[in-house]
Amino acid sequence: MKILLLAPQPFYEERGTPIAVNLLLRVLSARGATVDVLTYPVGADREHPGVTIHRTRRVPGIRKIPPGLSFAKLVCDAFMFFQAWGMVRRQRYDVIHAVEESAFIARFLQRWYRVPFIYDMDSSLSRQIVDKHPWLGWLGRAMRWAEGRMIRAATAVIAVCPALVEEAQSHGACQVYLLTDISLLQEVEPTPAEQALFPPTGAGCRFVYVGNLESYQGIDLLVAAFHKLVTDPTSSPAQLIVAGGVPGDIARYEAMCRQLGVADRVRFIGPQPVDRLGAMLALADVLVSPRTQGNNTPMKIYSYMASGKPLLATALPTHTQVLNDETACLAAPEPAAFAEGMRRLAVDPELRARLGAAAQARAEAAHSWPAFQRTVNQIYDDLAARLTQ
């Protein structure tokens, strides 16, 4: 099977969607598929048998492309549109596998060249844009309408979480598959340098967050809740370690911590390599996910679960479609409730052990690499059968 895979992200880069694309390519390569990947000019190459990376034109001044809508992303998507058009015009593809907003490009090419496409749905595009840019709310209805037309035109939709399965079905998708992300943990021991990034174990319960510091991640909520926790005279000592983020975001939250008087208890250690994620989580007592927006489940949740460490997360669909009260401590997305969740876990080692073990068992059963492989192979087996009918 010859596949054109449209990946409108920096590929490869160690963040959610590019990591998922790389996992997908591993499976497609193992199937013996021939895959042309069209992606942004930013990112590192990854080699897989049968896979060729094509990049859109490099634009002067664009060196980094952050998550979410941006001018840089719109420019790169425009170049991707014309380059994808040329590629489909010059050669025949059996299917276009379109990630995120590139599905609109795939829809256009489907109409002109009758090439079926799969929509790899990592989020609700209309909701994501309005959440991040509320001033675009007046366009919400039109964006949702356009998104619905594109979903109905897709041969299949691959959704990364149950909420997005429901979203796709509500738009009338003809076939929807659930393909959750998986744990990225490798069994590695923390190095002395990594241990030095964390406060000593006697400094109190170590709460750890891993991920970018975009507004939807709820870092404002996390810092405000931590402030409530450590300023409560009845609470035990605690430390907060934040791994990830770009320099501008880190500086902003460090200033917030200084203003609240908790800077001596919060460490921002910057981005850490994915292959060292296991070491980072091994040094934690409690893992936190304070996300406040969106309905897709963060990729880090699956690594959190597999680590065997207890989770504290906001009680929102982004988390509750995967977690429940048996596998995590869930708290309302407001500082007092989240601080109370932190306090409960800090003082109760038995609760931490129970939640960590339950989450780990769930990850091994449902969110493993073999499960991911089986689902991707089933999707493409079904597609191959439909194409030969």
The mean per-residue pLDDT over the stretch 307-325 comes to 96
Helix (H, G, I), strand (E, B) or coil at 53: strand
Strand partners, 331: 314
pLDDT at 131: 65
Give the C-alpha separation, 265 to 387, whole Å: 58
pLDDT at 200: 85
pLDDT at 129: 62
The mean per-residue pLDDT over the stretch 8-30 comes to 93
Sheet containing 238-243: order of strands: 266-268, 238-243, 205-210, 286-289, 311-314, 329-331
The mean per-residue pLDDT over the stretch 270-289 comes to 94
219 within 8 A of 242, measured Cβ to Cβ: yes
DSSP letter (8 states) at residue 345: H
The mean per-residue pLDDT over the stretch 270-277 comes to 91
Percentage of the chain surpassing pLDDT 70? 96
Q: Does the pLDDT of residue 132 top 80, yes or no?
A: no
25 within 8 A of 12, measured Cβ to Cβ: no
pLDDT at 135: 65
Is the model more confident about 389 or about 246? 246
Give the C-alpha separation, 316 to 130, whole Å: 18
DSSP string, 126-151: HHHHHHH-GGGGGGHHHHHHHHHHHH
Strand pairing class (286-289; 311-314): parallel
pLDDT at 146: 86
Give the C-alpha separation, 235 to 239, whole Å: 12
258 within 8 A of 85, measured Cβ to Cβ: no
DSSP letter (8 states) at residue 283: T
Percentage of the chain surpassing pLDDT 90? 76
Confidence of residue 130 (pLDDT cuts 50, 70, 90): low
Give the C-alpha separation, 84 to 250, whole Å: 37
169 within 8 A of 178, measured Cβ to Cβ: no
Closest by Cα among 148, 120, 130, 73 to 294? 130
**pTM higher than 0.85:** no
pLDDT at 142: 79
Strand pairing class (34-39; 2-7): parallel
Q: Does the pLDDT of residue 32 top 80, yes or no?
A: yes
- Round the average pLDDT of the chain to a whole number and report it: 92
From 103-107, 182-186, 298-302, the region with the lowest mean pLDDT: 182-186
Strand pairing class (238-243; 266-268): parallel
Confidence of residue 133 (pLDDT cuts 50, 70, 90): low
For residue 31, report the phi and psi dihedrals to the nearest 5 degrees. -75, -15
372 within 8 A of 23, measured Cβ to Cβ: yes
pLDDT at 233: 83
Is the model more confident about 188 or about 306? 306
Closest by Cα among 364, 286, 363 to 331? 286
Q: What is the pLDDT of residues 54-81, one digit of tens each?
A: 999 888 877 788 777 777 888 999 999 9
Give the C-alpha separation, 219 to 208, whole Å: 12
Give the C-alpha separation, 372 to 306, whole Å: 15
From 32-46, 86-100, 138-152, 317-331, the region with the lowest mean pLDDT: 138-152
Type of residue at 130 = V
pLDDT at 120: 96
Helix (H, G, I), strand (E, B) or coil at 152: helix
pLDDT at 136: 66
Confidence of residue 140 (pLDDT cuts 50, 70, 90): low
Confidence of residue 138 (pLDDT cuts 50, 70, 90): low
Q: Spell out the domains of the chain, with CATH numbers in brackets.
A: 2-182+368-387 (3.40.50.2000), 192-366 (3.40.50.2000)
The mean per-residue pLDDT over the stretch 93-99 comes to 97
Q: What is the pLDDT of residues 157-169, one digit of tens each?
A: 999 999 899 999 9
Helix (H, G, I), strand (E, B) or coil at 290: coil
**DSSP H helical segments within the chain, as ranges?**
16-31, 71-90, 102-113, 125-132, 140-153, 162-170, 192-197, 219-231, 247-260, 277-282, 300-307, 317-320, 335-347, 349-366, 369-387
pLDDT at 230: 94
The mean per-residue pLDDT over the stretch 340-360 comes to 96
Burial class, 68, CB count within 10 angstroms (exposed 0-12 / middle 13-18 / buried 19+): middle
